[in-house]
Amino acid sequence: MTGAGRRVPVGRIVGLSGVRGAVKLESWTDPRTRIFDYQPWLLVKAPGEETEVEGVTGREQGKGIVAVLPGVEGREQAAEWIGSDILVPREALPEPEDGAYYWCDLEGLEVVTVQGVPLGRVQHLFATGANDVMVVRGGGKEHLVPFVQETYVVSVDLEAKRIEVDWDPDF
C-alpha cells in the first residue's frame, strides 16, 4: 500500500521574484530542488480552490528557490498564487528505500504496543532534530512516540495498516 489517490504536500509559494512573474518557493523535498521532479502540482489556495499545473520550471537562487508557473506572465498574476500549498499525487514520489517511510503513508495507521494494547491512530508526525515523533491519538489520550525503529517502533505493516511499538500505554 502506497497511499494511492493521496496528495502529498511538498511545498508552498511564499513570495515573488523579479518582474516577469516568477515565484519564490518553500520546498520540503530533499534536496529542495527535487520539488520540480514531482509533477503535476496541485496548487491549493484555499479549500476547494485547486488548480493543477504541469511543466513548472525552476532553479536555486541565493538561499531560496524560484519557479516559473506555466501561463503566469507578470508579477500581478504571480501574486495571486502567494500562500498556495503545493501538493503532488503520492504516486509521483519514488518508493522509499527498505525501512524508510513517507509520513503520509504512516498517518492513519493503528498503533498497538507489543503487549497488544491499542494506543490509537497516527494523526501526524513531526521532526525534532534528533528523530521524528508520531502523534498517536485514541481512547481520549495522546501519545508522542519517537519513530525510532528497533528501539520504540518494532514493526510497520502498511498492508495491515498497523504499527507495533515498544511503548508504555500510560506514558
- The enclosing domain of 61 has a CATH number of 2.40.30.60
145: containing domain: 103-165
- Last-in-domain residue among 91, 116, 142: 91
C-alpha cell at 151: 528501539
- How many C-beta neighbours within 10 Å does residue 153 have? 21
C-alpha cell at 143: 501519545
**pLDDT the model gives residue 171:** 87
pLDDT at 2 over 60: no
| pLDDT tens digits along 26-62 | 999 989 999 999 999 999 998 889 999 999 999 999 8
Q: Kindly state whether residue 69 falls inside one of the protein's structural domains.
A: yes
| pLDDT tens digits along 109-118 | 999 999 999 9
| pLDDT tens digits along 97-154 | 998 999 999 999 999 999 999 999 999 999 998 999 999 999 999 999 999 999 999 9
Structure confidence at residue 24 as a pLDDT band (50, 70, 90)? very high
pTM for the predicted model, two decimal places = 0.78
- Last-in-domain residue among 60, 91, 122: 91
Q: How many domains does the chain have?
A: 2
Instruction: Specify whether 86 is located in the same domain as 110.
Output: no
Q: Kindly state whether residue 68 falls inside one of the protein's structural domains.
A: yes
pLDDT above 70 coverage of the chain, percent: 98
Instruction: Specify whether 124 is located in the same domain as 77.
Output: no
Q: Kindly state whether residue 133 falls inside one of the protein's structural domains.
A: yes
- How many C-beta neighbours within 10 Å does residue 22 have? 21
Amino acid identity for residue 40 in this structure: P
Q: Kindly state whether residue 73 falls inside one of the protein's structural domains.
A: yes
Instruction: Specify whether 33 is located in the same domain as 75.
Output: yes
- How many C-beta neighbours within 10 Å does residue 65 have? 22
- Last-in-domain residue among 58, 91, 124: 91
Q: Kindly state whether residue 98 falls inside one of the protein's structural domains.
A: no
Asked if residues 124 and 77 have their Cβ atoms less than 8 Å apart, the reply is no
Q: Kindly state whether residue 97 falls inside one of the protein's structural domains.
A: no
Instruction: Specify whether 15 is located in the same domain as 84.
Output: yes
Instruction: Specify whether 113 is located in the same domain as 140.
Output: yes
CA triple 140-142-143, angle to 5 deg: 140
